[in-house]
Amino acid sequence: MKALTEKEFDEEINKDKLVVVDFWAEWCMPCRMLTPVLEKLEKEYDSVEFAKLNTDEYPNVAMRFGIFSIPTVMMFYKGEMINSFVGAMPESVVRREVEKALEKIQA
């Protein structure tokens, strides 16, 4: 997963494909539990880009999206947030959320 900086963030989420962004922090144990799930899905979905943003390093981005709990995963398409969830979820739930987002952009 690509680690985003604040400068790269807007460019990344404005792509013409689904971009899944994991808002996380080093000290967050649920974040560490979610990372392997996202890394596995990244290998399965060629058409989806997976990225992460450290909320401790870039708090302005987290504040901009009203993120108070981590991990928060937001899914963007052409700059618009189209799906999100909060917390470390099992692979089946994360997969379902990615599929929902893909359905929205294909509709």
Active site residue 34: no
Among 21, 28, 62, 101, the one annotated catalytic: 28
Residues belonging to the chain: 107
2: Cβ–Cβ under 8 A, 6 or more apart, which residues? 12, 49, 50, 51, 52
Count of Cβ atoms closer than 10 Å to residue 49 Cβ: 18
Point out the catalytic residue in the list 4, 19, 20, 31.
31
31 is catalytic: yes
- Beta carbons of 48 and 21 less than 8 angstroms apart: no
Give the ranges where the chain is alpha helix by DSSP (H). 6-13, 29-44, 59-64, 91-106
Catalytically active residues, by annotation? 28, 31
